[in-house]
């Protein structure tokens, strides 16, 4: 089983060490944090968009299409009744000259995003405690 170490370096900061990298999070100032890094939920949202992005980029690179000028805009619909995001729209702006014959195929590639697949089939979560030394 893969392992990630999560720790608390001060105030509202929570960091995660994984694969030799440190992922930093913080809360916004209005939430009592220092606003020095994205909030954990912001990283969650960014993981959806960047995951779709790596699939779009790979699609273009495999076909020799220059991705210059392409981008993704992600929009989130919020349901105030349940306090959760209930809709995510991912819109790819293709680079100039992008072949029409690939439009459906690049959407299909972006649908393969592993983050999106995990949301559709969420893992089981277990939360426990152990006594510190």
Nearest C-alpha neighbor of 14 from the set 121, 105, 23: 23
Residue 98 has pLDDT above 90, yes or no: yes
Q: Is residue 108's pLDDT more than 90?
A: yes
For the segment(s) 38-120, the CATH number from 3.40.50.620, 3.40.50.2000, 3.30.460.80, 3.30.300.20 is 3.30.300.20
Residues 6+ apart with CB under 8 A from 37: 13, 24, 25, 26
Residue-level pLDDT at 133? 85
14 contacts 8 by C-beta, under 8 angstroms: yes
Tokens for 132? 């510190």
pLDDT of residue 11: 98
Summarize pLDDT for 29-82 with one digit per residue, the tens.
Answer: 999 999 999 999 999 999 999 999 999 999 999 999 999 999 999 999 999 999
Strand partners, 87: 77
CB 101 within 8 A of CB 74: no
Q: Phi then psi for 10, rounded to 5 degrees?
A: 145, 150
């Amino acid at each position: 089983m893969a392992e990630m170490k999560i720790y608390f370096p001060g105030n509202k900061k929570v960091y995660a060490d994984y694969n030799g990298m440190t992922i930093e999070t913080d809360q916004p100032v209005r939430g009592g944090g220092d606003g020095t890094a994205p909030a954990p939920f912001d990283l969650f949202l960014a993981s959806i968009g960047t995951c779709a992005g790596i699939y779009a980029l790979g699609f273009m690179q495999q076909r020799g299409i220059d991705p210059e000028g392409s981008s993704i805009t992600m929009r989130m619909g919020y349901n105030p009744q349940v306090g959760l995001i209930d809709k995510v729209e991912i819109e790819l702006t293709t680079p100039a000259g992008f072949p029409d014959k690939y439009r459906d195929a690049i959407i299909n590639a972006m649908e393969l995003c592993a983050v999106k697949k995990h949301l559709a089939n969420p893992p089981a979560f277990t939360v426990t405690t152990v006594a510190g030394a």
